[in-house]
Amino acid sequence: MNHDSYSDDYLRGILRRTKTIAMVGASPNWNRPSYFVMKYLQAKGFRVIPVNPRAAGEEILGEPVVATLADVPVPVDMVDVFRASDAAPGIVEDAIKVGAKTVWMQIGVRHDAAAARAEAAGLDVVMNHCPKIEYSRLCGELGWSGVNTGILTSRRRKVV
């Protein structure tokens, strides 16, 4: 797959079938991008499990933090990667082991070999994009506040 751009249908399909997201690199600091992305995705009805070995045992936005993907207590649909690109191969291997369906690498995170490995194992891959931004864009509500424009509700997601 060409990872320089993604069709709206591809991104929409991933977001429609995703219910549970494991966020690798989630931060308990309210001013970090992972924190407000997690908060936004929760408000849109996704369950987001924070994965961060340094914060394991704490809570972020009401969810217990786990140390590794293997510690996530529920099936994972998407692994959202908030780590440096060089961490992607290990995260992809862990995502494959836990049966994730998608690996989504955040803005600035790209690793073509890791993407190829994930795709060879049957996972969908998105690199150098943010699910918050794409969800907002696809639903016509792109903005910092994530204010609902009537297309979505906080508990009934409809990616248009």
Give the pLDDT confidence score for residue 26 in this predicted structure: 98
What is the pTM (predicted TM-score) of this model? 0.89
User: 144 burial class (0-12, 13-18, 19+ CB within 10 angstroms)?
Assistant: exposed
Coil, strand, or helix at residue 140? coil
Give the pLDDT confidence score for residue 153 in this predicted structure: 42
Pairing of strands 78-81, 20-24: parallel
Give the pLDDT confidence score for residue 147 in this predicted structure: 52
Give the pLDDT confidence score for residue 150 in this predicted structure: 43
Low-confidence stretches of the chain (pLDDT < 50) are 148-156
CATH placement of domain 8-138: 3.40.50.720
Distance CA 74, CA 135 (A): 23
CA distances from 138 to 3, 9, 15, 115, 122 (A): 19, 10, 10, 23, 25
Give the pLDDT confidence score for residue 154 in this predicted structure: 43
Give the pLDDT confidence score for residue 141 in this predicted structure: 78
